[in-house]
Amino acid sequence: MAVGWSRDEAVNDQIDATVKSAVQLAKSRLPEGESLSHCEECGAEIPEARRKAIPGVRSCVGCQAEREKRLKGVEFYNRRGSKDSQLK
């Protein structure tokens, strides 16, 4: 697919780079280590089923949901929206 002066593979390279950064971001947010018995934010007990399902969990469901609401829309970088990354 030819786009202006760009190489034919440039669009695929850009897509691959976007996917790679999203995977790296997701991996960086995975919990590590042993699960906590109580939420580090509010102190509520974390149910055993949650600790077994998500190794390394550090927060209760309520605090995790609030954290995800705050981060929504921030975690993904849209390369197409960046002037510097547009193909020429």
- Nearest 5°: CA angle at 27, between 21 and 66? 100
Whether 85 contacts 79, CB under 8 Å: yes
Banded pLDDT at 88 (limits 50, 70, 90): very low
Check: pTM over 0.75? Answer yes or no: no
Task: Dump pLDDT digits (tens) for 9-40.
Answer: 788 888 899 999 989 988 887 778 889 999 99
